Structure 1
């Protein structure tokens, strides 16, 4: 299925324009404005997904399993599941890459939610929501996303214990206003 939806995160400077969403792959154009960074500004992992980048323009700062470097146009690389990583714009111009996650799982819904929360001023300067909202997201998207540095089983126990409180406080895992832009 070809997608025509674009999400923008005013906090992180990220823009995602979805190209394809199937059970096998989530593919999107990923743009970072100068100073932009991946949500959280910290290493994260995709427990059950491989992530592939193809840099089209600009300079993408990359940290994979502690190794930092800069990807330039023409660079292609993959990040295996469960590997700590993060990315940021490492230049003074906009950076554009094509990103694929295999399998796609529910990561698109996670992006819609986190970008919608940022757009509504519900995140901190790193693009992360408060602890109760974060627990709800961590519980719902446990197969797609986790913070690096804290063992995943510990994160899952904490999220499972805290998410019900977050849901009682009105937080939800899916953002109804999904950020579709023209």
Structure 2
């Protein structure tokens, strides 16, 4: 990963260099990456989610572009709709869930970038949940027990 951000435009519906990842059925597109930040688009169909987890070394943000997401942020359920910005400080448990009947598209970014892009490259097309949790932990993302999602 480059130390500095490259200038340019990453087109709507595309990832840098044409890259797209399938992470448990959700489509992720890397939008920009360098040492200080990593931005990616997610496309979540109804019922899809990322369970509650912690980034111990990164602040994370979500800009909802279409649809809505239900978030569990530090134990509190909240809803973010198109145009809303979600701020998730490092070390604070959070997860997102599309509990609506419509798809959701959102732009996420973390700062600093850490190893999140490398994690997504590893998770692409993986389906074994224990292996996904282990790979995530090895890349500085710690999932909480399933009851944290309730």
TM-score by length of 2: 0.79
CA change 1:135–1:58 in 2 (3 A) is: closer
Q: Distance in 2 between matches of 1:96 and 1:136?
A: 25
Measured after TM superposition, the shift of residue 117 of structure 1 is: 1.6
Larger helix proportion of the pair: 1
Is structure 2 residue 45 aligned with structure 1 residue 33?
A: yes
Query: Can you give the 5+ residue segments of structure 1 that lack an aligned partner in the other structure?
Result: 150-182
- Flag the structure with larger Rg: 1
Q: 1:111 offset after TM fit, Å? A: 1.4
Structure 1 residue ranges (4+ consecutive) displaced by more than 3 angstroms after TM superposition: 133-137
Q: Show structure 2 runs of 5+ residues with no match.
A: 1-5, 11-15, 146-150
Q: Tell me, what secondary structure is at the counterpart of 1:116?
A: coil
2:80 corresponding residue in structure 1: 71
Instruction: State whether residues 61 and 71 of structure 1, in contact with CA within 8 Å, keep that contact through their aligned partners in structure 2.
Output: yes
TM-score (norm 1): 0.66
- C-alpha contact (below 8 Å) 1:16/1:29 kept by paired residues: yes
1:57 to 46, 63, 66: 66
CA-based RMSD: 1.8
Q: 1:98 to 1:45 in 2, by over 3 A?
A: same
Q: CA deviation at 1:35?
A: 0.9
